[in-house]
Structure 1
């Protein structure tokens, strides 16, 4: 699992990452992921300004390595600089979306057809595994009707979701018109191979594949986290901006901003972990997400048992228990923050650059060690 860290104060900023990377692809409607080590995930984004970029989750953007994308951007924008870190991020995403050297129009067309085809296969497999279909599997006519009903149901459910920004209804209609002939051929092949000869409507299957891709790309495309950090030309103190990038749907790049932080004259130190964060959370907050969830779960059980022993069973017991759990959680987490997290941030704010780097490296190593030991324990 990937572990990445951003630590900054008024003096400097440090990015740190392990070398694990993920490459994803779809095959017969199933997502396959491969993990490997030795990957570089931190790059210089500008030749002239102190701007870095760090990536996590996927090592490539629809088969184009992120390292190649970053190097191409750095080469083409060698003499340009921007006022803020956010402007660097937006310019980087715009560069990707409009670069027809890295992402030719023909390649993007092939990607869209390929993605819709894999989605159609995935839904056909889901239809075959539907409980209503399995219940009448021995009756061919009834099974075919159950499959038609399942297909219609998936279309109805999918259309309840809004189109994913920046995609529009016009983009969806244009994609269908442009690729209908190829999608019909793919749908016919998929129905022969994956539908057990059920007479499902080809047009409905195509609509389902397109609607699912345009409305829920996060389910079907591999996500890459992008952290851009450093100093814009107008910045006196460092900052970072985080984006989530899903890749292309047609010629549109699906990406959105996830978060940001800038050091100010009053904000002396900041720490942020990305991807796998358990050890970093434990270090910075005094407890990890597993402890947080366990405390809430056990407290809820204890309160319900205590109410039972008292013979109290009001109709709103569940609401009362949740209110007590929330109140308890707020009190102890706020106390931990004041006693642990706030002093730690003050310490980070005073660290010199070399100690910031040592802190970031140590936390990444601890996260990697924890993940490795957790993996080994599952094999025993």
Structure 2
């Protein structure tokens, strides 16, 4: 995991990233504090890129991809930042970069991982049935229970994937192609991971899900191996800075599966003068911006909503003079009123947080010079790092903070940048770097 941030105003955009990277192994997790996640996308023009999530794309470290792309881009420039982003996405969707053998491995690994995920869900449901904590329940035959639970879990996920939006950038026939091409492999996985005598309907749904994995984005499930890329700066005709964020999964059948994260995409205009955008681990930045930790806010709203949901029943129980029909009618009115009260409360709560916290911060940010934008970006990343350090959580944010500022006039400028080598011992590195620029 990581903590990254982009802070924009009319002066420019400050980018900051920590250096922590988590390596997950079968025996546990290892955290290193030396990863590079912030880069110049062009050596000649004011464009930068940050990476969060998976440190590699289809097995290739992002740092390698970005630096090779930079050599390919050379001095080429585009009118708008979005054109830089589209050009980069087109580059990584290249069969010369990602050969078909790698794409096939990605498909097989993804389907296998999802079917293993199914097993975890099924076992979780099974434990609810055979839990020894439940009184007066005899331990059922586990195989019989598995046969009951498995189709239910499969059906639930099938409906979720079926109703999910199809990716706008993936061919509509991609799902059918995957099912046909990998039919034998999917069948083998079903026989390996699921109960014997699984009904035909459930098997067909698993084949459908295997195809959906590569062309749809359901709201409540996200591939743990996805990566986020943040491209920021200016196109040649952009007056003010912009940030565009993409969530990327991989390349299948020579098609890149990704979507634009609209919530993390922003362009400074004459009317929209500042924005603070956190990425990956956002909790401490949200606490700073809105005055309450996100988990506290969720608990707060859930508790009040639960209390309001129970309240009508408690009232109805104590109304002896009403008959059942009248009580039912009154209950519906109370439930409707409570929903209106709760919706109004959450709306007013949000307005209060904006008025008393984030609005004033954004006003100040809109006036900050470039050096203070950089200081603020670094401080907010350090705030998240410090919180992890003084809590019992894993220190998934930490290490040196890389900071850069991109402005229209000065371009991409490093404020802080770590190196894995001693600069004094490697003058040739900087000589070679500068030769490429000349």
Where on the TM-score scale, by shorter chain, does this alignment land: which range? 0.7 to 0.9
Equivalent residue number for residue 9 of structure 2: 9
Equivalent residue number for residue 251 of structure 2: 248
- The answer on 1:230 being equivalent to 2:226 is no
Residue 50 of structure 2, aligned match among 46, 51, 54 = 54
Aligned equivalents of 2:386, 2:129: Cα separation in 1: 46
Aligned equivalents of 1:326, 1:248: Cα separation in 2: 42
Measured after TM superposition, the shift of residue 62 of structure 1 is 2.9
- The answer on 1:175 being equivalent to 2:192 is no
Equivalent residue number for residue 383 of structure 2: 366
Aligned-partner SS, 2:371: helix
Structure 1: segments with no counterpart, 5+ residues: none
User: Number of matched residues?
Assistant: 367
Residue 64 of structure 2, aligned match among 57, 65, 68 = 68
**Which has a greater percent of helix?**
1
CA contact (8 A) 1:56 1:224 kept: yes
Where relative contact order (Cα < 8 A, 6+ residues apart) is larger, the structure is 2
CA contact (8 A) 1:116 1:210 kept: yes
CA contact (8 A) 1:57 1:224 kept: yes
Measured after TM superposition, the shift of residue 133 of structure 1 is 10
CA contact (8 A) 2:176 2:211 kept: no
Structure 2: segments with no counterpart, 5+ residues: 131-137, 320-326, 396-438
Describe the superposition over 1:232-253 as per-residue Cα deviations: whole angstroms up to 9, x where unpaired.
Answer: 1001211111111122334221
Describe the superposition over 1:100-149 as per-residue Cα deviations: whole angstroms up to 9, x where unpaired.
Answer: 33311121112212322333444356556664997997487x57864885
Aligned equivalents of 2:306, 2:206: Cα separation in 1: 48
Distance 1:124 1:238, change over 3 A: closer
Residue 80 of structure 1, aligned match among 67, 71, 76 = 76
Measured after TM superposition, the shift of residue 161 of structure 1 is 3.0
Distance 1:213 1:137, change over 3 A: farther
Aligned equivalents of 2:179, 2:286: Cα separation in 1: 45
Q: What aligned pairs does 1:13-28 form with structure 2 within 5 A after superposition?
A: 13-23=13-23
CA contact (8 A) 2:301 2:346 kept: yes
Equivalent residue number for residue 430 of structure 2: none
CA contact (8 A) 2:115 2:193 kept: no
Measured after TM superposition, the shift of residue 36 of structure 1 is 3.4
Describe the superposition over 1:258-307 as per-residue Cα deviations: whole angstroms up to 9, x where unpaired.
Answer: 12211123333221112222221222233332343344345446767988
- The answer on 1:354 being equivalent to 2:359 is no
CA contact (8 A) 2:82 2:244 kept: yes
CA contact (8 A) 1:83 1:234 kept: yes
Aligned equivalents of 1:204, 1:298: Cα separation in 2: 41
CA contact (8 A) 1:161 1:215 kept: no
Q: What aligned pairs does 1:1-380 form with structure 2 within 5 A after superposition?
A: 1-23=1-23, 35-98=31-94, 100-123=95-118, 126=121, 131=126, 138=141, 146=148, 149=151, 153=155, 156-157=158-159, 160-162=162-164, 164-165=166-167, 166-184=169-187, 186-187=188-189, 191=191, 194-195=193-194, 204=204, 207-208=207-208, 210-214=210-214, 219-220=222-223, 222-259=225-262, 260-297=265-302, 299-300=304-305, 314-315=330-331, 316-375=333-392
CA contact (8 A) 1:4 1:16 kept: yes
Aligned equivalents of 2:370, 2:210: Cα separation in 1: 50
Aligned equivalents of 1:319, 1:77: Cα separation in 2: 58
CA contact (8 A) 1:159 1:211 kept: no
TM-score, scaled relative to structure 2: 0.71
The RMSD of aligned alpha carbons is 3.8
